[in-house]
């Protein structure tokens, strides 16, 4: 087999066999296929696409390129949730404890912030002492003991995807549906859960800007997951405004704790209840979604989910007192308020810009090694549809440097539009793909 022939085949729009796809993924991972040939192949995929069978083969080849986590020592059906990346998305901190408190094991591998989006690992590290670098043995032991553990992605998880992602990033070949779907799903399959619930975001703060594109991506990933023998669902959710009110690590952790105390904003509550319901359904814990919703609401009312968060934080070395007394978290030294400049209704929020504003306050990494400031971020008092008068506060920005804070206020102002006509925001949940 020659890479040259495979590039030619794809250039002419022909489908590759499973054997051919494994050959090129393995060859590239081992360093036998050079970047320039793989780049040509990826560009051919961008123009000609891949069919369902090819996309599944690519996913499996990347998933098997490194360690496939063996979670068979965990009792019961393990459920995982994965978001395609959003702003203000703290759902894992809320739904993980909710689902675990109902006895369904949640063995989760999470990432750090990427681009303008935040990451669960950075948020969890807001708890002093918390560690995501626990051994596979401790991970499995913790899930068996209390149904919840979260670790960072290991270097050996789907290394082919890591290499291909870096190449796609510099060859303008990121935004191809089969390539995105296989990249995400290879990591989820390698991470070993039986049930995968995907939160596919659509809108200005998401990778997929339109609901149609998000649906296509959702359908493709659901097909891959089910094709690989995992129970897979995808929830399509709106990312034309931040989820909930807080953006920024500690601010989001505090909002998650509020949510576990029964005080979640409506969109955040809908997101958590919907995603968690499908985790319970896939794991066979409930017969239907309405039963799931009732049980989940009770985990909040009874305080069980909050206690589960505390138990989980403590088991991974964190200080659980912060769960019950969130005022212990450090605060940024300075705040500034963004106020409405005109009367009207908030009509649009450029959510990617909002994520970037939080990063510019110090909440993001400038290099892979840089430390992030966990205290900075934004808390919104108004979101899309809200009526405002000149001078009304829209958001409070939290920062530690005067210069960065005033620049962030201007940046945020440009990200928020005020119109003259009343507007009803779209519901947060735009659809669910169960089987396609
Ligand atoms: N996230 C991933 O992990 N891969 C992609 O290709 C896009 C988003």
For residue 174, the ligand 1 atom closest to its alpha carbon is: 6
Determine contact, residues 243/86, Cβ cutoff 8 Å. yes
- Classify strands 387-388 and 416-419 as parallel, antiparallel or unpaired: unpaired
Position 347 scores a pLDDT of 97
Q: Is 200 touching ligand 1 by the criterion CB < 6 Å?
A: no
Q: Is 361 touching ligand 1 by the criterion CB < 6 Å?
A: no
Nearest Cα residue to atom 6 of ligand 1:
180
Kindly give the distance from the C-alpha atom of residue 184 to the centroid of ligand 1, in angstroms, as a whole number. Answer: 5
Kindly give the distance from the C-alpha atom of residue 86 to the centroid of ligand 1, in angstroms, as a whole number. Answer: 12
Predicted TM-score (pTM) of the model is 0.92
Position 109 scores a pLDDT of 86
Q: Is 184 touching ligand 1 by the criterion CB < 6 Å?
A: yes
How is domain 79-325 classified at the architecture level of CATH?
3-Layer(aba) Sandwich (3.40)
Position 226 scores a pLDDT of 92
- The tens digit of pLDDT for each residue in 337-368 reads 999 999 999 999 999 999 999 999 998 776 66
Q: Could you tell me where in the chain the CATH 3.90.1170.30 domains are found?
A: 331-419
Q: Is 178 touching ligand 1 by the criterion CB < 6 Å?
A: no
Determine contact, residues 55/86, Cβ cutoff 8 Å. no
* 3-state SS assignment for residue 287: coil
Tell me the C-alpha to C-alpha distance, in Å, between residue 85 and each of 102, 119, 171, 202, 432. 26, 8, 21, 10, 17
Kindly give the distance from the C-alpha atom of residue 327 to the centroid of ligand 1, in angstroms, as a whole number. Answer: 35
Q: Could you tell me where in the chain the CATH 3.40.1030.10 domains are found?
A: 79-325
Position 212 scores a pLDDT of 95
Residue 398, CA atoms < 13 Å, CB-side half-sphere: 20
- What CATH number matches the domain at 331-419, 3.40.50.2300, 3.90.1170.30, 1.10.287.310, 3.40.50.1000? 3.90.1170.30
Q: What is the largest CA-CA distance in the chain?
A: 68
Position 370 scores a pLDDT of 72
Q: Could you tell me where in the chain the CATH 1.20.970.10 domains are found?
A: 3-49
Beta-carbon neighbour count of residue 410 at 10 Å? 11
| Phi, psi dihedrals of residue 289, rounded to the nearest 5° | -70, -35
What are the catalytic residues? 82, 161, 168, 183, 187
Residue 209, CA atoms < 13 Å, CB-side half-sphere: 4
Q: Is 395 touching ligand 1 by the criterion CB < 6 Å?
A: no
Nearest Cα residue to atom 1 of ligand 1:
184
CATH class in words for 3-49:
mainly alpha
Position 114 scores a pLDDT of 65
Nearest Cα residue to atom 7 of ligand 1:
180
Position 153 scores a pLDDT of 79
Q: Is 183 touching ligand 1 by the criterion CB < 6 Å?
A: yes
* 3-state SS assignment for residue 234: strand
Apex 365 CA angle, 360 and 371, nearest 5: 110
pLDDT tens across the length of the chain (436 residues): 999 999 999 999 999 999 999 999 999 999 999 999 999 999 999 999 999 999 999 999 999 999 888 899 999 999 999 998 889 999 999 999 999 999 999 999 887 776 677 788 889 999 999 998 888 899 999 999 999 999 987 778 899 998 998 899 888 888 899 999 999 999 999 988 999 999 999 999 988 899 999 999 999 999 999 989 999 999 999 999 999 999 999 999 999 999 999 999 999 999 999 999 999 999 999 999 999 999 999 999 999 999 999 999 999 999 999 999 999 999 999 999 999 999 999 999 999 999 999 999 998 776 666 788 999 999 999 999 999 999 999 999 999 999 999 999 999 999 999 999 999 999 999 999 997 5
What do you get for the CA distance between the two ends of the chain, in Å? 34
Structure tokens at 63: 């998933």
Beta bridge partners of 62: none
Residue 111, CA atoms < 13 Å, CB-side half-sphere: 19
C-alpha 87/C-alpha 420 separation (Å) is 26
Position 245 scores a pLDDT of 98
For residue 179, the ligand 1 atom closest to its alpha carbon is: 6
Ranges of beta strands (E only) in 266-381 are 334-339, 344-349, 377-380
Kindly give the distance from the C-alpha atom of residue 85 to the centroid of ligand 1, in angstroms, as a whole number. Answer: 9
Nearest Cα residue to atom 5 of ligand 1:
180
Kindly give the distance from the C-alpha atom of residue 174 to the centroid of ligand 1, in angstroms, as a whole number. Answer: 8
C-alpha 430/C-alpha 234 separation (Å) is 11
- Sequential DSSP letters for 268-285: HHHHHHHHHHHHHHHTTS
């Amino acid at each position: 087999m020659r890479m040259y022939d495979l590039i030619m085949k794809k250039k002419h729009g022909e489908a590759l066999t499973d054997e051919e796809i494994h050959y090129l993924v393995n060859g590239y991972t081992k360093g036998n296929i050079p970047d320039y040939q793989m780049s040509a192949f990826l560009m051919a995929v961008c123009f000609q696409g891949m069919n369902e069978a090819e996309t599944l083969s690519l996913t499996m080849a990347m998933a098997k390129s490194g360690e496939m986590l063996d979670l068979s020592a965990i009792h019961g059906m393990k459920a995982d949730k994965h978001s395609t990346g959003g702003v203000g998305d703290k759902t894992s901190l809320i739904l993980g404890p909710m689902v675990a408190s109902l006895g369904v094991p949640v063995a989760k591998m999470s990432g750090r912030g990427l681009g303008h989006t935040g990451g669960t690992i950075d948020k969890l590290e807001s708890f002093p002492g918390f560690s995501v670098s626990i051994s596979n043995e401790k991970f499995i032991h913790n899930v068996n003991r209390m149904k919840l553990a979260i670790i960072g992605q290991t270097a050996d998880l789907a290394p082919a995807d890591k290499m291909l992602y870096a190449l796609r990033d510099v060859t303008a070949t990121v935004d191809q549906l089969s390539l995105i779907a296989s990249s995400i799903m290879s990591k989820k399959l390698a991470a070993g859960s039986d049930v995968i619930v995907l939160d596919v975001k659509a809108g200005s703060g998401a990778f997929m800007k339109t609901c149609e594109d998000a649906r296509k991506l959702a359908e493709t990933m659901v097909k891959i997951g089910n094709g690989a023998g995992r129970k897979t669902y995808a929830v399509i959710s709106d990312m034309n405004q931040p989820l909930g009110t807080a953006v920024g690590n500690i601010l989001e952790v505090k909002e998650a704790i509020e949510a576990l105390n029964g005080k979640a904003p409506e969109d955040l509550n809908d997101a958590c209840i919907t995603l968690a319901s499908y985790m319970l359904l896939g794991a066979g814990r409930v017969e239907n979604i309405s039963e799931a919703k009732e049980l989940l609401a009770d985990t909040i009312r009874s305080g069980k989910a909050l206690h589960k968060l505390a138990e989980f934080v403590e088991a991974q070395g964190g200080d659980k007192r912060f769960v019950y007394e969130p005022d212990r978290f450090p605060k940024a030294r300075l705040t500034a308020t963004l106020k409405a400049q005109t009367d009207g209704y908030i009509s649009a929020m450029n959510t990617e810009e909002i994520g970037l504003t939080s990063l510019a306050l110090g909440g993001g990494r400038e290099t892979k090694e840089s430390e992030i400031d966990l205290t900075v971020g934004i808390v919104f008092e108004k979101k899309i549809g809200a009526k405002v008068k000149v001078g009304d506060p829209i958001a409070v920005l939290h920062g530690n440097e005067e210069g960065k804070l005033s620049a962030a206020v201007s940046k945020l102002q440009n990200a928020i539009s005020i119109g003259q006509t009343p507007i009803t925001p779209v519901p947060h949940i735009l659809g669910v793909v169960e089987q396609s």
